[in-house]
Structure 1
Amino acid sequence: MDTQIETTQTATQLLHSISGLIEGLPIGEALARLVARFPGQVVFSTSFSIEDQVIAHHILSAGLPVSIFTLDTGRLFPETYSVWSGTNDKYATKIKAYYPDRQLLERYLDEKGPNAFYASVENRKECCYIRKVEPLKRALKGQAVWVTGLRAGHSPERKDHSALEWDEGNKILKYNPLLHWDTPAVKEYIDKREIPYNPLHDKGFVSIGCQPCTRAIRAGEDFRAGRWWWEDNSKKECGLHAS
């Protein structure tokens, strides 16, 4: 118990210290301070969403030493792969991919089938864990800061997050620079700088994940309605950004 208390106190102190270091700074300056404070230990996870493309532009156009990776679940939209390629080409970079553990995925598919996630919330969360959460843990191992494109408007649960927070599950500082940006601000940034983005965003797809679990939203539906639409709204998280 003493070890846990000590760990909690250390995390709280670190969070307070780093908050003071970057508070009120523009994204580029905040990222520059983070990489100076944690050289070689700042990573950015991208799904090639419009939010993530804004952050990728900040990192890649400035040549910041932030490692960028994506989680290739094996069931992404073709358009997502096109944005991935377009981003590599525009910025002359190679974004690293992490893939599901082969044994875990094969066991899941053998026992439950390729579309088992439609059958129950438990099955869907297990699929998300195998394809996204477990690879993420590998990607974050040994890192100090995880940069994300999380926005408060993405879902009710995400309103509880802070721009800088301690992710206890991954034992890492998490920086969410676009947390309080609204969708028009994100789109304006993308358009002004001609940043590659997913054309599905122009077809009613607001939050884009795996192809079988994502649809365009209808008029009057909330932001998250296009993800796992067959489930209750209170369950619509994959586990990457658990509070």
Structure 2
Amino acid sequence: MDQKQIAELNEKFTSKDPTELLTWILNEYGNKVALSSSMGAEDQVLTDMVLKIKPDARIFTLDTGRLFPETYDLIDRTNKKYNTRIEVMFPDYKQVEEMVNSKGINLFYDSVENRKLCCGIRKIEPLKRMFSTLDAWICGLRAGQAITRQNIHVVEWDDNNGLLKFNPLAAWSESDVWDYIKEHKVPYNPLHDKGYPSIGCLPCTRAIESWEDVRAGRWWWENPESKECGLHKR
């Protein structure tokens, strides 16, 4: 798909309900598209939408080995509620062993370079393995989440991975997300009720204050401009 076609899709779907875009995606790409879920609130909204359109749609998540217990519980609850099986991708254990034994168990606190190395091994490498089976992917990015995401579109070309990327909730606000969750009784991570709007690995996530940016609790020791793991590198 070229940039002209992508622009046409953005013009067609940007102001539409996300389910219209999701219906088109799932019909167009079948099992060659998957929803990438971190089990966050936005991803749970998309999981509900996607599985109501196509009950056997592909959804995957990355188990870094450092997730919160509440996140593992949510994977199980989601599978049971929707009678689905979220595909779980794991990092290569040899790479993890080498990294930890050479850099330390909590290497990510020492430097941005170490943190990106950890994200690369625990998240990017398994993500690329999943992408090798896909032509397109769906994710829960919203423009209002962070300064690194302000200019996203509902349809983009992912240069880093060579496939289409869809952000159906790009224009949604945080209140839109929670209104949907409440209306449709979507299961969500209880940490959201304890001051964690964005949830990643346990040692790299903290609760935030009401006045802070929604992603302030992710890699809080870094500058806002570097707070991406590489999944959404622009």
TM-score, normalised to structure 2's length?
Answer: 0.94
* Pair 1:165-2:153 in alignment: no
Return the alpha-carbon distance in structure 2 between the equivalents of residues 104 and 129 of structure 1: 10
1:235 alignment partner in structure 2: 226
Return the alpha-carbon distance in structure 2 between the equivalents of residues 14 and 139 of structure 1: 25
1:96 alignment partner in structure 2: 87
Question: Does the 8 A contact of 1:43 with 1:140 survive in 2?
Answer: no
Q: What letter corresponds to residue 87 of structure 1 in structure 2?
A: T
The CA deviation at 1:119 is 0.5
* Pair 1:121-2:116 in alignment: no
1:143 alignment partner in structure 2: 134
- Match of 1:40, SS state, is helix
1:6 alignment partner in structure 2: none
Q: 2:35 aligns with which of 41, 44, 51?
A: 44
How big is each residue's C-alpha offset from its partner over 1:134-188, in whole Å with a ceiling of 9 and x where there is no partner?
1111111141221000111221010121111000011111110111111111111
Q: 1:75 aligns with which of 26, 50, 66?
A: 66
Q: What letter corresponds to residue 70 of structure 2 in structure 1?
A: E
Question: Does the 8 A contact of 1:32 with 1:64 survive in 2?
Answer: no
Q: What letter corresponds to residue 68 of structure 1 in structure 2?
A: I
Return the alpha-carbon distance in structure 2 between the equivalents of residues 85 and 31 of structure 1: 24
Q: What letter corresponds to residue 49 of structure 2 in structure 1?
A: H
User: Unaligned regions of 5+ residues in structure 2, if any?
Assistant: none
- Match of 2:215, SS state, is helix
Q: 2:124 aligns with which of 126, 133, 136?
A: 133
* Pair 1:28-2:22 in alignment: no
User: Unaligned regions of 5+ residues in structure 1, if any?
Assistant: 1-9
Residues 23 and 236 of structure 1, relative CA distance in 2, 3 Å threshold: closer
- Match of 1:53, SS state, is helix
How big is each residue's C-alpha offset from its partner over 1:57-100, in whole Å with a ceiling of 9 and x where there is no partner?
01112335531000001100011111111100100111010011
Q: 1:225 aligns with which of 204, 212, 216?
A: 216
The CA deviation at 1:18 is 4.2
Q: What is the aligned-residue identity percentage? A: 47
Q: What is the total number of aligned residue pairs between the two structures? A: 234
Q: What letter corresponds to residue 211 of structure 1 in structure 2?
A: L
* Pair 1:210-2:196 in alignment: no
Return the alpha-carbon distance in structure 2 between the equivalents of residues 111 and 143 of structure 1: 34
* Pair 1:178-2:164 in alignment: no
Which entry has the higher C-alpha Rg, 1 or 2? Answer: 1
- Match of 1:160, SS state, is coil
- Match of 1:153, SS state, is coil
- Match of 2:216, SS state, is helix
The CA deviation at 1:202 is 0.7
Question: Does the 8 A contact of 1:49 with 1:198 survive in 2?
Answer: yes
The CA deviation at 1:15 is 2.1
The CA deviation at 1:24 is 4.1
